[in-house]
Amino acid sequence: MTHQRPISPLKAFLTKLVLCLGWLITKLPFSLQISIGKALGWLLLIIAKRRRHIAQTNIDLAFKDYTREQRQNIIREHFISLGISLIEIPNCWWGSDSKLKNLAQIHGIEHLEQAQRNNEGIILLSAHFTHLEIAGRLLAMHAPFFVMYRPHENPILEQVMSNSRQKRFSLAIKRSEVKTMLKSLKDGHTVWYAPDQNFGLKNSIFSPFFGIPAATNTATSRFARISGAKVIPFFSSRIDDKYQLTILPPLTDFPTEDIQKDTDRINKLIEDHVKLAPEQYLWSHRRYKDRPDNEPGLY
């Protein structure tokens, strides 16, 4: 559970200042916003040494067959993508539908629409790409779904994010509210869920991700089994200042009785889509933080 502690007056002032700047930036042409985001990305590459080390480690592990130059290029492009994401997020909160609606091309939405017409519970399976937030915002303009989230520790940011979630999504469910999620699925709702971050070993098993054992939550398989929900993958990519949203057909023969097999399948599915635009995945997260017994830490 995330506890919100009081923040200092200085941090509150700086948070509000950044929010004001973010709101102002949303008023600019979107192509100009992207250019600002790229500049922020270059700045992050220089100053965010800890995150750069994490991204470097992850990319060296995941793409060990690449040349050093290729891996360095992914890192540079990754931080540019991160910078753009800082510009995308204010658009998720304050961007108008009329301004955003032409930014997305959606492929395969019929798979989601058919299952929703049948009142089937749906786990809308996604992954942590740098443009995850705006991808969800864009899809929500075309289809209703619930969203799972982790509350932010900064109460000012959390209030802004909460207001946006209430406005954009049918229902927002805290990551800890498992019973609410299961009930929603059993009642025939769609829940957007991304299981690909390392939140510890509880309810997780080690599953290959780019050939490296990664602690992976088994919730996708467990939730699908308990609720009877379909699992429909939803991935996205950023192409210049536009977004391609791809919804795949429901997974067949899922879940099985083998939770390891199910989890490996989910990781492989995510891995395949990361390979399409590797710089856009959130490599600055410690995906390989927890290690199997007797293995040394990687960071």
pLDDT in tens, 250-291: 999 999 999 999 999 999 999 999 999 999 999 999 999 999
Gap between the Cα atoms of 212 and 190, Å rounded: 31
Residue pointed to by tokens 């009930």: 183
Q: Judge whether 296 lies within some domain.
A: no
Which of 40-49, 192-201, 252-261 is the least confident region? 192-201
CB 62 within 8 A of CB 212: yes
* Torsion angle (degrees, nearest 10) of CA 283, 284, 287, 290: 150
- Give the number of domains in the chain: 1
Q: What is the pLDDT of residue 3?
A: 59
Which of 94-98, 113-117, 135-139 is the least confident region? 94-98
Q: Judge whether 1 lies within some domain.
A: no
Q: Judge whether 127 lies within some domain.
A: yes
Q: Judge whether 275 lies within some domain.
A: yes
Q: Judge whether 49 lies within some domain.
A: yes
The domain containing residue 207 runs over which residues?
Answer: 9-280
Query: Token digits for 118?
Result: 């049948």
Global pTM value? 0.93
| pLDDT, tens digit (0-9, with 9 covering 90-100), for 147-159 | 998 889 999 999 9
CATH number where 114 lies: 3.40.1130
Say yes or no to pLDDT of 2 above 60.
no
Look up residue 226 and give its amino acid. I
User: Which candidate, 53, 118, 101, places its Cα nearest to that of 79?
Assistant: 53
Q: Judge whether 291 lies within some domain.
A: no
